[in-house]
Amino acid sequence: MPEEAQENTQEPRVQADEDWKKAVAEEKARLRQQGQTAAKEAVPEADIRIFLAGLYTQTLVCLGDIAHPASGAVEQSLPEAQYLIDTIAMLKDKTKGNLSSEEGAYVDNILYDLRMRFVSASARGGAAGESEEAKEEQ
């Protein structure tokens, strides 16, 4: 085979520039660092108000004031609502003297709101100890 034919059958060689490799590695490191920073910023700092907001939302679901996030159904379970309200009240008692004035006011406000909603739900839905399932069985 002539030499020219051998040269055409060989694949071209790619030469990577060392500066280019370094720039790519630095860019990957920078993006990785940004991702870690963004992940840290995405998670809020632990706060009693955020924790209580979760309990508040669960209680609203149990009271039938908002739909269940997974099923989308509006269901009422007054015993569960009472349990959650009692849990928030217990947390208020256990943290007495350790909450800031804003945190204390927040606990007081959500307890008042939930208790008023519970009374309304009880008046609408029957006895406080009955759930929707118990009523359907009757």
Domain of residue 63, residue span: 48-137
The span from the CA of 50 to the CA of 69, in Å, is 18
Total-model pTM:
0.61
Q: Which of 118, 132, 126 is nearest to 65 (CA)?
A: 118
Q: Is residue 11 included in any domain, yes or no?
A: no
CA distances from 35 to 28, 31, 77, 110 (A): 11, 6, 42, 36
State how many domains the chain has: 2
60 & 125 share domain: yes
Determine the Cα–Cα distance for residues 79 and 133; give it in Å rounded to an integer: 12
63 with 86, same domain: the answer is yes
Same domain, yes or no: 62 and 37 = no
Q: Are residues 22 and 53 in the same domain?
A: no
Tens of pLDDT along the chain (138 residues) come to 555 555 556 666 666 677 777 777 888 888 777 776 666 667 778 889 999 999 999 999 999 999 998 888 999 999 999 999 999 999 999 999 999 999 999 999 999 999 999 999 999 875 444 444 444 444
CA distance 110 to 118: 12
Burial class of residue 108 (count of CB atoms within 10 Å of its CB; 0-12, 13-18, 19+): exposed
Residues 53 and 119 in one domain: yes
97 and 38 share one domain = no
CA 124, CA 22: separation in Å to the nearest integer?
A: 70
**Residue 67 shares a structural domain with residue 97:** yes
Distance of CA 9 to the CA centre of its chain: 60
